[in-house]
Amino acid sequence: MEVSAYAKLNLTFEVLGRRNDGFHQVTTIMQTIGLADMLWIEPDSELKVECEYPELAGEQNLVWQAAVALAKAGNIEPAARISIEKHIPVAMGLGGGSSDAAGALLGLNVLWGLGLSIDELAVIAAGLGSDVSFFLWGGTALAQGKGEEITSLSPLPPLAVTLVFPDLQITNKTAAMYSKLTVGQFSDGGVTRQMIQILTAGQFVRESVRGLVFNAFSEVAARSYPQLLEMCSQVAEQGGPVLHLCGAGPALFTLPSSEEEHQRIAELLQPHGAGVYLVSTVPPEKCGLGSLPAGAR
């Protein structure tokens, strides 16, 4: 079985405050995009998770944890061979590991004949990581709580997205970024509510959404990683669009007005050694269950 595990970006990312359990309360609109890892899932006598990157193979991969958790829920022994072909850059804020885990849950649910519903899989997904639940649905969705409470929204039309991958590696990135948040970065969810109004009213205008894109980590990233601020400033100073963080970063994105604008961004950032790619939004029917082969759904 071949499963596509798409990346995501956050059109809004608001942190409302700190929870009693030590996590942060968030409200975010997530969107799947046309960059995907590929998972090959087949029967085996034991559980094997393989990847061309040795550090992502075996028990340390979230896919392994997903398989073990699903098998426990189904009261069976985890036995399958899962091969992961990585195309989503690791630790860039695009949710690749979470998407792989969701793809494994969907595929193994079929392979093992467990017959669990998406809602039942979502309970398992929530225990694996905050973003995993979203990838069971994909498309355009509101995520609340720690990020595991998912409400599907009216999908965006096909929309070009410029992705920027800086030459920057951040150790324990997500934890580090959250630890640097202050009350000044907390908000009341108003930007997200505005974005939802635009989407649900069916009055989508690319400029409207582009003007509302917001990320609570923007100030933290600008202070912590001057390279990102320098890249964003260079594009803006040349009349280009605002670049936004993907999740907790350090990847950046914007919604270009044209292919020419995308090319201009790529040219401006070439001296920084950044990878710049043009992708598109991906609708929900291609994600989640739609990412499985037709005969497996």
| CATH number of the domain to which 114 belongs | 3.30.230.10
- Would 290 be classed as within a structural domain? no
Q: Are 281 and 158 in contact (CB under 8 A)?
A: yes
Q: Which among 8, 72, 167, 286 is annotated as catalytic?
A: 8
80-85 and 47-51 as β-strands: parallel, antiparallel, unpaired?
parallel
- Read off the pTM: 0.94
State how far the Cα of 106 lies from the Cα of 234, in Å rounded to an integer. 42
Same domain, 120 and 179: no
For residue 135, CA distances in Å to 6, 73, 121, 245 come to 8, 19, 11, 19
Residue 44 annotated in active site: no
- Tokens representing 292 are 């499985």
Q: How many folded domains does the chain comprise?
A: 2
Query: 107 lies in which domain range?
Result: 2-154
Same domain, 100 and 215: no
Same domain, 202 and 264: yes
Q: Which among 131, 146, 188, 286 is annotated as catalytic?
A: 131
Q: Which residue has the tokens 């059109």?
A: 11
| Per-residue pLDDT in tens (0 to 9) along the chain, 297 residues | 999 999 999 999 999 998 888 788 999 999 999 999 999 999 999 999 999 988 888 898 999 999 999 999 999 999 999 999 999 999 899 999 999 999 999 999 999 999 999 999 999 999 999 899 999 999 999 999 999 999 999 888 889 999 999 988 877 888 888 889 999 999 999 999 999 988 887 666 566 677 889 999 999 998 888 999 999 999 999 999 999 999 998 999 999 999 999 999 999 999 999 999 999 999 999 998 888 887 777
Q: Are 29 and 141 in contact (CB under 8 A)?
A: yes
Instruction: Report pLDDT digits (tens) over 233-277.
Output: 999 999 999 999 999 989 999 999 999 999 999 999 999 999 999
State how far the Cα of 30 lies from the Cα of 131, in Å rounded to an integer. 9
Q: Report CA Rg, the chain.
A: 19
State how far the Cα of 252 lies from the Cα of 9, in Å rounded to an integer. 9
Same domain, 115 and 186: no
State how far the Cα of 221 lies from the Cα of 122, in Å rounded to an integer. 31
State how far the Cα of 60 lies from the Cα of 73, in Å rounded to an integer. 20
Instruction: Give the DSSP letter of residue 242.
Output: P
- Tokens representing 81 are 């061979």
3-class DSSP state of 132? coil
- Final residue before a domain boundary, out of 122, 154, 186: 154
CA 140 to chain centre: 11
Residue 131 annotated in active site: yes
- Final residue before a domain boundary, out of 154, 172, 195: 154
Same domain, 78 and 173: no
From the number of C-beta atoms within 10 Å of its C-beta (0-12, 13-18, 19+), residue 92 rates as buried
Q: Which residue has the tokens 């968030």?
A: 26
- Tokens representing 109 are 């649910």
Residue 265 region by backbone torsions, left for phi larger than 0, else alpha for psi between -120 and 50, else beta: alpha
- Would 288 be classed as within a structural domain? no
Q: Are 119 and 153 in contact (CB under 8 A)?
A: no
Q: Which residues contact 69 (CB under 8 A, 6 or more apart)?
A: 124, 127, 128
Q: Which residues contact 211 (CB under 8 A, 6 or more apart)?
A: none
State how far the Cα of 240 lies from the Cα of 182, in Å rounded to an integer. 30
Instruction: Report pLDDT digits (tens) over 155-197.
Output: 888 899 999 999 888 778 888 888 899 999 999 999 999 999 8
State how far the Cα of 54 lies from the Cα of 76, in Å rounded to an integer. 27
Sign of CA dihedral 244, 288, 4, 178: positive
Query: Domain of 205: which CATH number?
Result: 3.30.70.890
- Would 241 be classed as within a structural domain? yes
Angle (deg, nearest 10), helices 118-128 and 96-111: 140
